[in-house]
A = this chain, B = another copy of it.
């Protein structure tokens, strides 16, 4: 699959897909002429990457994390080093706090919305 199709299927811009490649997050074969050629599995991977970015992880953490993730095809995966586990645990806790805050903000919005709809 080529970059335009991947962008369409994932909703991620071509610009970002190329950026992911420079960050070592997403590999692609090349056609003889140099155009990127992605496997089907790239769709899932891009979505995962996008989710992790949205969760506030930076490129280097995602790069370390990706090979440790269960592959979409259940293939073998690397096991995280203790150092990485410590990092990921900190990220996990940060995400946890983030979720708590988001729920509180959502509740705040709901309150205002309901007050307006009732009024």
Contacts and interface: CB of A to CB of B under 8 A. Distances in A.
Interface string A77-119: 1011110110011011001101101111110111111011101
A80 to B, nearest CB: 4
A85 to B, nearest CB: 5
A104 B95 CA distance: 10
Contact of A89 (B91, B98, B113): B113
Interface stretch (A8-16, A17-25, A33-41, A65-73): A65-73
B95 A113 contact: no
Interface residues of A, number: 41
B102 A54 contact: yes
Contact of A105 (B54, B77, B102): B54
Interface residue SS majority, chain A: helix
Interface of A: 48, 51-52, 54-55, 57, 65, 68-70, 77, 79-82, 84-85, 88-89, 91-92, 95-96, 98-99, 101-106, 108-113, 115-117, 119
Given A70-B115, A95-B109, 12 more contacts: A52-B108, A54-B102, A55-B106, A79-B116, A80-B115, A82-B116, A84-B116, A88-B109, A88-B113, A92-B106, A95-B105, A99-B102
